[in-house]
A and B are shown apart, each in its own frame.
Chain A
Amino acid sequence: MTAADLSDERLRKPTGLRGSATALVDRVRAGELGMVPVVAGLLVICVVLQILNPIFLSSTNLVNLLMECVPVGIIALGIVCVLLVGQIDLSVGSISGLSAAIMAILFVTEGWPAWLAVLLALVAGCAIGLLYAGIFNRVGVPTFVITLAGLLSFLGLQLKALGSIGSVNLPFDSGLVEFAQLNFVPAWLSYVFVLLAAAGLFVVGFLHAAKRRTAELSARSMRFLLVRSGVLAVGLGFAAWYLNRTRGIGWMFVLFVALALVLHYGLTSTKWGKAVYAVGGNVEAARRAGINVRLVYTSVFAICTTLAAFGGVLGAARLAAANQSSGGGDVNLNAIAAAVIGGTSLFGGRGTAFAAVLGVLVIQSISSGLTLLSLDSSYRFFVTGVVLLLAVGVDSLARRSRTTHGRA
């Protein structure tokens, strides 16, 4: 007996591993690119940079690169949420700078406990998001303009807060700085994490497949699940082993991945996540389906600005200082570029939390590679700009291809 969801005679029935592979190729051809371009791009960038400078893929450099990813990566997670509902936040850089300043002043100048200073910086970030959403929902000013205003205003506030000092140094022996610079996962624990990830993926997949079979629906084969978990275990295991040859994996990076996983769960497996995609796809349809559209916008902006504040705090901890240029320069555009390069559509309704992770890896690889070649920031800006344009170009072409293949 065929499963209920495969009983239509018009449906091609991919079976087994080969079927899954063909289905993937078909999807990519039709413009459902998902993670393919960014993974391919990352490989190309790694190969090119490695040829130019053999230090690039060294364990030391990669350890450093992963740590550098985290602040911008966390900001990019928030950007993904905002892009999913078809809006934009241009002020994440300023918010991260402001929150870094708030945290540093409270912690160092005022002598507050670190956790309280961080918490207040996050609350300030969240409040900014609520303010944005309030203006957007009630007045209807485009978020492009609201956040552009925010970019300037909060930069002003940051400069004002830092005032005459201009820079606040965090003590090197504080927990925050140690967390961002020196705390690494012990080697044995990193392998435990790898095994847990592979086993977790298998168990979740197995239970889901079992549930589908009981409901008489098609399900992934046991072999597919085993191979998938095996590939993940080998891949992550190799990465962990390579990084563990030097300092290993920073706890801060683990935190970033954990945040990405939480956001992924929220977007794919909760009612809220479906509402976010629905608002990004068709606001009017979402409203008529009884979704509280304003609440969705509010939640998304609050998440984005809170994550931006968190990224700013971690950035300051990594630098061991908050100064007038914290969150300035390319932080803003790097975060947005990371989300887009990772495959989040600027048109709304498409993208995943992992887009931020992969995208920020691309951005940081370029940055790190060019620094290794002793090229200054002028080259970095230029190359990052070209990569961003390529990513958006791929997105637009894929969109066109989806239209012709009836998947838009």
Chain B
Amino acid sequence: MATLQLSGVSKSFGAVAALTDVALTVDAGQVVAVVGDNGAGKSTLVKVLSGVHAPDAGTIVFEGREVTIQGPAAAHKLGIATVFQDLALCENLNVIENLFLGQELGPFRLDDVAMEVRSWELLRQLSAKLPAVRLPVAALSGGQRQTVAIARSLLGDPKIVILDEPTAALGVAQTAEVLNLIDRLRENGHGVLMISHNMADVRAVADEVVVLRLGRNNGVFDARSTSSEAIVAAITGAQDNVVAQRAARVQDSTEGVEQ
């Protein structure tokens, strides 16, 4: 049974239908990538799942129970943690303070030792490469910041982790670092829902690729056996475009060689 199962989810903003009848499942220990063009409804989907927007229609089944997600806090309580694209870290605070922001141990007498120990546990669980936890977040690289944001989402021991464009602003090495992290999440049995634009990243870590197009499902692909071209074709929705044409030409010429 899937940890998270969406069916028939719709959401419109005024006259614009952002999501129409979307279905999706995420299992424990599975990385599902959601891809789609701008305006395909990826962000709306994230916001529905993280409790920012309530869906107009459809059901969300979490661990076998049908649930309604009332708000960000409710989503977190259920076990759905979201790492937004802008990470939402406080640069003037150090790593520990950011990890425990809003959920510090010992409200009237902070237990900084316990928090530091727990921080190292979390980071080690992710095999994260942070030299120190008492550094202000301002001193960290983009990849390290992403690490902190992901580690923070793991504090409540969530079942599902949603990552919104985790590699969008990162360099090559940092991207690799974050992809390792996603792999770690899968190994630790978390279900991961990853929103991405980057086909290479998707194919590197995802198990399943869900394509959204104009707010509707446009196919679910196995990330290992499907070609990038097929996924791109599903994203653009047109068989007749530059990418598809070139793919077809490449296909033809290789077939020609074989003959």
Contact = CB atoms under 8 A, between A and B. Distances in A.
A4 B93 contact: no
A266 to B, nearest CB: 9
B16 interface: no
Given A5-B133, A217-B116, A277 B90 contact: yes
Interface string B59-102: 00000000000001100100000001011111111000100111
Interface in B124-139: 129-134, 136, 138-139
A270 interface: yes
Interface stretch (B103-111, B193-201, B230-238): B103-111
Contacts of A11: 131-132
B92 A5 contact: no
A165 B110 CA distance: 51
Contacts, number: 100
Contacts of A290: 72-73, 76, 102-103
B221 interface: no
Contacts of A285: 87-90, 101
Contact of B109 (A5, A217, A270, A281): A270
A407 B97 CA distance: 15
A289 interface: yes
A407 B139 contact: yes
B117 interface: yes
Sorting the interface of chain A by its residue count into under 10, 10 to 19, 20 to 34 or 35 or more gives 35 or more
Contact of B138 (A211, A217, A402): A402
Contacts of A271: 104, 106-108, 110
A289 B101 contact: yes
A408 B91 contact: yes
Interface in B199-256: none
A164 interface: no
A291 interface: yes
A208 B131 CA distance: 22
Nearest to A11: B131
A4 B117 contact: yes
A350 B109 CA distance: 21
Interface string B143-163: 000000000000000000000
A288 B72 contact: yes
B1 interface: no
Interface string A339-365: 000000000011000000000000000
A380 interface: no
Nearest to B141: A406
A349 B136 CA distance: 12
A294 interface: no
Nearest to B133: A5
A10 interface: yes
B88 A407 contact: no
Contacts of B91: 281-282, 408
Contacts of B139: 406-407
A2 interface: no
Contacts of A406: 138-139
A367 to B, nearest CB: 32
Contacts of A274: 93, 97, 100-101, 104, 110
A282 B88 contact: yes
A377 B77 CA distance: 61
A216 B89 CA distance: 27
A245 B73 CA distance: 61
Given A282-B90, A406-B139, A289 B113 contact: no
Nearest to B139: A406
Nearest to A271: B107
Contacts of A216: 117
A198 B34 CA distance: 60
Contact of B113 (A217, A277, A281, A291): A217
B163 to A, nearest CB: 15
Contacts of B109: 269-270
Contacts of B102: 275, 278, 286, 289-291
A268 B188 CA distance: 34
Given A271-B110, A274-B110, A4 B120 contact: yes
A280 interface: yes
B92 A281 contact: yes
A136 B117 CA distance: 39
Interface in A281-339: 281-282, 284-286, 288-291
A406 B137 CA distance: 9
A221 B89 CA distance: 32
Contact of A408 (B90, B113, B138): B138
Contacts of B120: 4-5
Interface string A397-408: 000001000111
Contact of B93 (A270, A281, A408): A281
Interface of A: 4-5, 8, 10-11, 208, 211-212, 215-217, 269-272, 274-275, 277-278, 280-282, 284-286, 288-291, 349-350, 402, 406-408
21 contacts: A4-B117, A8-B129, A211-B113, A216-B117, A217-B116, A270-B107, A270-B108, A274-B101, A278-B102, A282-B92, A285-B101, A286-B101, A288-B72, A288-B88, A289-B101, A289-B103, A290-B72, A290-B73, A290-B103, A291-B101, A349-B90
Interface of B: 72-73, 76, 84, 86-93, 97, 100-104, 106-110, 113-114, 116-117, 120, 129-134, 136, 138-139
Given A8-B132, A212-B116, A282-B92, 7 more contacts: A10-B131, A208-B113, A212-B113, A216-B117, A217-B117, A274-B110, A288-B84
Top-9 shortest CB links A-B: A289-B102, A281-B90, A281-B92, A285-B88, A349-B92, A271-B107, A290-B102, A289-B101, A8-B131
